[in-house]
Structures are given as structure tokens and as C-alpha cells.
Amino acid sequence: MKAYGHIVKEIDRTGLCELKDVSFKASPNVLRSMAALFLKGADLMDKNGKKFEGLHLKDSWKQWRDDYPDVIIVNEEDS
């Protein structure tokens, strides 16, 4: 899997950037795992509200590889 995006602005000096778009170059298996992560994140946000801090694909997916970019779900209410 690869992730690509166009930068809108740099958020901080660690390299975190706001992106205009995100593209994932991935297999159907990877995309299904990402879809499951999004659904799980939404369910946890509904259940826990502001207490939900985040969810990482690398922590949730057994087929994770170190050369994949992590996908992180973060609560919109935290920003």
C-alpha cells in the first residue's frame, strides 16, 4: 500500500500537513481492512464521544507491514 496527497499547508515541524486529497494505492484486501477501521472508528466515536482519541490501522490489522503508511482515525471533536 502507498498513500499520496497534495499538501494544503504544513501543520508543524514534524512534517504533519493538512492535505487537499488522499490517494491509496492498495489491494482489495488492504482497502477492506481500511474500511473496517473506518467503521470501527465511527462506532467507537459514537459510543465514547470525546473520550475516543484515535485508532491506528497498524494496531488493528494482522497483515500490517512496516513499509505501509499508517492510517489513523482521530476524533473531529479533538481539533
Instruction: Tell me the pLDDT tens digit for each residue of 27-57.
Output: 999 999 999 999 999 999 999 998 998 999 9
Paired residues of 23 in beta bridges: 4
**Residue 79 CA to its chain's centroid (Å):** 15
Q: How far apart are CA 73 and CA 53, in angstroms?
A: 8
Cα angle vertex 31, ends 28, 35, to 5°? 135
Under DSSP, the state recorded for 10 is: E
Q: How far apart are CA 43 and CA 69, in angstroms?
A: 23
pLDDT at 43: 96
Paired residues of 73 in beta bridges: 55
pLDDT score of 61 more than 90: no
pTM summary value: 0.79
